[in-house]
Chain A
Amino acid sequence: TQLLEQSPQFLSIQEGENLTVYCNSSSVFSSLQWYRQEPGEGPVLLVTVVTGGEVKKLKRLTFQFGDARKDSSLHITAAQPGDTGLYLCAGARGGTSYGKLTFGQGTILTVHP
């Protein structure tokens, strides 16, 4: 079984602080995705990283895929209360079953005003 370990599980910070969430695995994934889920809703895709060492930026969010494609990180700069939510990393294997994602346990982020 390919497992994705996310850390930390919980993160409670003040508005304006920076934070990093980590996603690690002993297995190689063809791609890794980050989702954000709010209460009562399904996960929403933030980004997909494909190439080892790839860095993608989405406004204040920076995503990185490890060189060996076994780990990834999400860095948020100057967090805002609107960033509060559950952040999930998900690894995809190859072929036509790319939707068969392996999800990490998630990081619950709370940003206090």
Chain B
Amino acid sequence: GDSVTQMEGPVTLSEEAFLTINCTYTATGYPSLFWYVQYPGEGLQLLLKATKADDKGSNKGFEATYRKETTSFHLEKGSVQVSDSAVYFCALSDNRKLIWGLGTSLAVNP
């Protein structure tokens, strides 16, 4: 079945560092891809999304590009802030339901 693999955390960065969180997927069709974020003590929030190959999703300085040839959807941000500390989940849609990665915890130090 469909699956999502994320890089393991925790990831610890200094403020203003460059962030990459790797995400690859396995799917029989052409799913939509998502990044969700869970801030401490809060619920899951949609961060960005992409529906087809070469689409780039972006929000709050984060970006991810749907790469069909490498089945990847890596999350990037050029300069992280302390407020970006959270758990990030990569997910794909499979007939409406979401298939999730394990999540990557990010801690940004001032």
A and B together in one complex:
no
- A interface residue numbers (CB < 8 A to B): none
